[in-house]
Chain A
């Protein structure tokens, strides 16, 4: 299994491969954006409010960071199946189902990390913002804005997790050729076909994409920090 043959194999499959890479990015980035909105909101709310059972919520959020993708996949599968409560929408085995599953998978990650960041930042800012008489609603906006660089890192953690998982998208997407087949399910499929060089090559591409997305975000963050930190 040498790298050259892996890449020539990959290049021969160009159009299909681009579609697969595109779908991977589309699904995982959509899930990251959705989970970012939900998770950051949830994490901030937990960080900035006090209510009975809050400690329990924090523990549960932290624990759910380790949610196994197959479990999420199974739950979403059962919910979206024609025999399930949301079956009438017919979205099982579609990219939408995959986005939903990955969103559920990474909301706890984003929420738990956001809570930590927001709580730390609030600890730092509390006196200052109280002295300025900032209202709770504005307080949340200030903290979210000032935590923006950390939040980018958190979103990247979520994206990394989403892009790398195979268990959930396999179950709810069905790995349908040309429709719900993404990088990770392709790798799993090619491995099962004994096509290890191609699987390996695809793995390298996936890794490259994740590194590229991270580098891009890191560069944006570095630039922005220099100008606004």
Chain B
């Protein structure tokens, strides 16, 4: 298959205060199905996503984006104090895109939000807010979509709904990069996996080989349900 890079990371390092958040991460993420950043809590998934989006500046190293517009869905999305419809319209506006009723109608429809179009966004349930957040990201017509732990606070039914949406968005050709600490979710969604331990890229592999033939000792330990740290020992 022709390799078509979406993101190139080269020795990406991020230091905040005394802590090293990202340790010289070097990787190429290619076009295709969803890429999942996997790893235990606090491993630097969110920071890496934000660095790729350009929301945090690296201490050293580089990150290059090779595609057009990107959207980012925060782990805890903030609903603007407006209606569902106005949240979508605003997001589209920030991308410099012209207003389009048909786009709005489709988005509301795709995300089962039509009946809530004029409800205040902040009154929505957790699942509805998460759907709106993703819809809002798509209103910007991105080529690349970052999702930070998109189902962290959702129940099973809502999680299934969101995962279905992710699959549909990916099928439309939008490159998705999402973070999760949930092995099962990675398995269900991922095309390939970046496995992070304490800010270090421990392994990058296609989904199947990661789960069935992990090369790194940390990945094998994580898959076995153990706590892991950089040197592979139990902390």
| B122 CB, nearest partner CB in chain A, Å | 6
Interface: A124 (CB within 8 A): yes
Bound together, the chains give a CA A228 to CA B84 distance in angstroms of 9
| B90 cross-chain contacts in A, Cβ below 8 A | 142
Specify which chain B residues have a CB less than 8 angstroms from the CB of A128 in the assembled complex: 74, 77-78, 80
Provide the residues of chain A in CB contact with B123, threshold 8 Å: 229
Could you say which residues of chain B place their CB within 8 Å of the CB of A59?
none
User: Which residues on B sit within 8 Å (CB–CB) of A125?
Assistant: 78, 80
| A132 beta carbon closer than 8 Å to chain B | yes
Query: 0/1 per residue, B129-140, Cβ < 8 Å to A?
Result: 000000000001
Quick one: given A131-B71, A131-B74, are A146 and B81 in contact (CB under 8 Å)? yes
- Which residue from B74, B81, B94, B140 sits with its C-beta under 8 Å from A229? B81
Question: Contacts A132-B140, A228-B83 hold; do A124 and B120 have CB atoms under 8 A apart?
Answer: no
Contact B74 A127 (CB under 8 A): yes
Size of the B side of the interface (Cβ < 8 Å), in residues, is 21
Closest to A127 in B: B74
* Cβ contact within 8 Å between B74 and A146: no
Task: Known A131-B53, A134-B94; judge A146-B120 contact (CB<8 A).
Answer: no
By a CB distance below 8 angstroms, the chain A residues around B81 are 146-149, 228-229
B55 within 8 A of partner (CB): yes
B83 touches A131 (CB 8 A): no
Chain B minimum-CB-distance residue to A149: B81
Q: Determine the distance from Cα of A133 to Cα of B72 in the docked complex, in whole angstroms.
A: 10
Q: Closest residue to B71 on the A side, CB-wise? A: A131
Kindly state whether residue A227 has any CB partner on chain B within 8 Å.
Answer: yes
> Does A225 sit within 8 A of B, measured CB to CB?
yes
Task: Evaluate contact between B55 and A132: CB separation under 8 angstroms.
Answer: no
List A contacts of B71 (CB < 8 A): 131-132
Q: A146 contacts B80, CB within 8 Å?
A: yes
- Which residue from chain A places its CB closest to the CB of B123 in the assembled complex? A229
**B189: interface (CB < 8 Å):** no
CB of A55 closer than 8 Å to a CB of B? no
Return A121 CB to nearest CB of chain B, in Å. Answer: 9
From A142, A149, A226, give the contact of B80 (CB < 8 A). Answer: A142
What are the interface flags for A136-171 relative to B under an 8 Å C-beta threshold, 1 for contact and 0 otherwise? 001000100011110000000000000000000000
Q: Which of B55, B91, B118, B120 contacts A225, CB < 8 Å?
A: B120
- Inter-chain CA distance A127–B140, complex, in Å, is 16
Q: Which of B74, B83, B90, B140 has the most CB of A within 10 A?
A: B90
Q: State whether the Cβ of A195 lies closer than 8 Å to any Cβ in chain B.
A: no
A134 to chain B, nearest CB (A): 5
B99 within 8 A of A: no
Task: Return the contact of A131 from the options B72, B86, B122 (Cβ within 8 A).
Answer: B72
B82 within 8 A of A: yes
B82 and A127 contacting across the interface, CB-CB below 8 Å? no
Which residue on B lies nearest to A132, using beta carbons?
B94
Nearest CB of B to A221, in Å: 12
Complex alpha-carbon distance, A127 and B79, angstroms: 12
B74 proximity list for chain A (CB < 8 A): 127-128, 131
- Contact yes or no, A229 B78, CB < 8 A: no
Interface centre among A124, A125, A138, A228 (most CB of B within 10 A): A228
Hey, which bits of chain B sit against chain A, CB under 8 A? 53, 55, 71-72, 74, 77-78, 80-83, 86, 90-91, 94-95, 118, 120, 122-123, 140
* 7 closest A-B pairs by CB: A131-B72, A229-B120, A132-B94, A128-B78, A146-B81, A134-B94, A127-B74
Seed contacts A125-B80, A227-B83, A229-B120; 12 additional CB < 8 Å A-B pairs = A124-B78, A125-B78, A127-B55, A128-B78, A128-B80, A131-B53, A131-B71, A133-B94, A142-B80, A142-B90, A227-B118, A229-B122
